[in-house]
A = this chain, B = another copy of it.
Amino acid sequence: MANANGPMGEEGRSIPQTTNPMVTPLLTDLYQFTMAYAYWKAGKHLDRAVFDLFYRKNPFGGEYTVFGGLEECIRLIANFKLKEEEISFLRSVMPTCEDGFFDYLRAIDCSDVEVYAIPEGSVVFPKIPLMRIEGPVAVVQLLETPFVNLVNYASLVTTNAARHRFVAGKSKNLLEFGLRRAQGPDGGISASRYCYMGGFDSTSNVAAGRLFGIPLRGTHSHAFVSSYMGHDEIIGKALQSHDGSSTCEDFVSLVQAWLGKIQWTDSLRGVFGETNQSELAAFTSYALAFPNNFLTLVDTYDVMRSGVPNFCAVALALNDLGYKAVGIRLDSGDLAYLSIEARKFFQAIEKEFSVPSFGKMNITASNDLNEETIDALNKQGHEVDAFGIGTNLVTCYAQPALGCVFKLVEINNQPRIKLSEDVTKVSIPCKKRCYRLYGREGYPLVDIMTGGNEPPPKVGERILCRHPFNESKRAYVVPQRVEELLKCYWPGYSDKSREELPSLEKIRDRCMKHLSQMRPDHMRRLNPTPYKVSVSAKLYDFIHFLWLSEAPVGELQ
């Protein structure tokens, strides 16, 4: 048997706590506990319920979402246990509840819960359950709020990162710089993790680098530049050459000599006059600290009149000692224009002083970037190699919330439906199975939901796919490949085997692969084609039968 000890046994214990220790069973809405009491009081708390976690609309005007947050949900249930002091608190909040209820709460864990989910990092679509959670209704209800919380932002920001990667292109370096503007501390930490999952290359967030093994990047800020008054502040002026063979005793003078040479270069004459000397001191000092990793922010005073020439003077001095400077960062102004001007400057230096590949110096841009500004830069033409993106990425400025919901679809084997005057808000009843059907060209064609007992779609066999709520929208599909979407991540007392939780690196790979497999018209930024989400003919009929049987009949008079 796959898990003889049950999920809270050996296997369960191997799943660590949630990343944020504030995620406990109390991180939920009060009504989950009041409902639990009402269930308990009615003797209904052990009723076997099936809930679907899904969303209704893709974010950012797009036609896809990347699913994130699954591992944190599994960590929560693997360690789900109310502490005595938490129970005391609940008792103080619900003073009219009977003692027996608190004994019941004291005893609950998630050993009798089953969780099925689409693998984290998958491209997903509206209405299809990202997760199906089965178990005693009172317990599963407690999971609603934390699960939705853990999935909503994770999926939203992963999707946002994937969209930024899409518009920036595969060749650009993408740096996540969002910590300071994120919605709270773990808004920042989660953002770093999920942006990496969605295709970013690195983060500035040290805590996230440590927690998740994400590559870290960072050099210096404007304050570093303006903290210097002049060269006389620099105490240790010596710098050993890269190969260790010699030492330059006065690197400061070498830099100044180079600045003079650049200033009198024919091809650069008139670009700049006197550069800011405190900036030059800051750059020199930074090079003395990080000669192998010299990248500076060049817009503290004036990019082309001061920052770029000062950078080049230091880079050329480093070059004399065998070090290769990394590049510059632009954090304000017209990034297209400035990157092109800086590139010309670097190329002129390469030519003038015969420094191979100096013209290819890395240019990072980082001022309030988002999908639109990167797209606009692409259209204008630019020379940016790397984008550092913060606010718009991590707060998902273009749409700061995803609307995942958690709906009861079956209880004690009875399918349930939630009606609404707004048809997009009607839930799809039944414990369902979900499949992705692939076409001849290898692209996913349609996702289909079927009743739990229907035979799965078969490769090469025609199947009718129906829109769940629009009678006339239906199509026959002959799948070339059929993928079952929901896998078992928490088997409860069932005999299913538990899917492993893959590493962040593997989830990121899955995400990159999934995104690249999608038909391009679903992915484009403007007017993307909706991906089709359907139900089987049998499930369609059942939805509409149940709808009629639950909706009260009106009376015309």
Contacts and interface: CB of A to CB of B under 8 A. Distances in A.
Nearest to A44: B233
A20 B305 CA distance: 45
Interface of A: 18-24, 26-35, 37-39, 41-44, 47, 49, 51, 86, 89-90, 93, 96-97, 137, 141, 144-146, 148-150, 152-154, 157, 177, 179-190, 204-207, 209-210, 216-224, 226-229, 233-236, 270, 272-276, 278, 285-286, 288-290, 292-293, 299-302, 305-306, 332-333, 391, 395-397, 400-404, 406-408, 411-412, 414, 416-422, 425, 550-555, 557
Contacts of A228: 44
A141 to B, nearest CB: 7
B149 A24 contact: no
Contacts of A206: 26-30, 33, 89-90, 93
B396 A222 contact: no
Nearest to A154: B184
A291 to B, nearest CB: 8
B28 A185 contact: no
A29 B425 contact: no
Contact of A408 (B141, B144, B227, B404): B227
A214 to B, nearest CB: 11
23 contacts: A20-B20, A27-B206, A29-B177, A32-B218, A38-B285, A42-B233, A42-B236, A43-B236, A49-B227, A93-B209, A96-B293, A144-B180, A144-B221, A148-B181, A149-B179, A227-B411, A227-B416, A276-B550, A300-B419, A302-B551, A332-B421, A333-B422, A391-B403
Nearest to A417: B226
A552 B22 contact: no
Contacts of A276: 550, 552
Given A401-B181, A555-B273, A29 B205 contact: yes
B227 A30 contact: no
Contacts of A32: 218
The 8 closest A-B pairs by CB, nearest first: A30-B218, A31-B218, A38-B289, A400-B400, A183-B183, A223-B408, A395-B400, A148-B180
Nearest to A18: B185
Contacts of A227: 39, 44, 47, 49, 137, 408, 411, 416
A26 B31 CA distance: 36
B219 A31 contact: yes
Contact of A31 (B209, B220, B401): B220
B179 A552 contact: no
B553 A273 contact: yes
Given A31-B219, A183-B184, A186-B20, A210 B141 contact: no
A240 to B, nearest CB: 12
Nearest to A137: B227
A272 B555 CA distance: 7
A129 B185 CA distance: 22
B42 A273 contact: no
Contact of A285 (B42, B288, B401): B42
Given A153-B187, A275-B552, 6 more contacts: A22-B186, A28-B207, A86-B210, A183-B187, A184-B184, A229-B414
Contact of A34 (B218, B299, B414): B218
Contacts of A223: 35, 49, 51, 141, 144, 406-408, 418
A333 to B, nearest CB: 5
A235 B42 CA distance: 6
Contacts of A395: 183, 400-401
Contact of A38 (B207, B290, B553): B290
Contacts of A419: 300-302
Nearest to A275: B552
A216 B20 contact: no
Contact of A421 (B44, B333, B397): B333
Contact of A145 (B30, B179, B273, B278): B179
A288 B235 contact: no
Contacts of A29: 177, 179-180, 204-206, 218
Nearest to A398: B400
Contacts of A190: 183-184
A189 B22 contact: yes
Contacts of A93: 206, 209, 216
Among A31, A89, A414, max chain B CB count under 10 A is at A31
Contacts of A300: 418-419
A36 to B, nearest CB: 10
A41 B285 contact: yes
Contacts of A28: 179, 205-207
A185 B289 contact: no
A404 B218 CA distance: 20
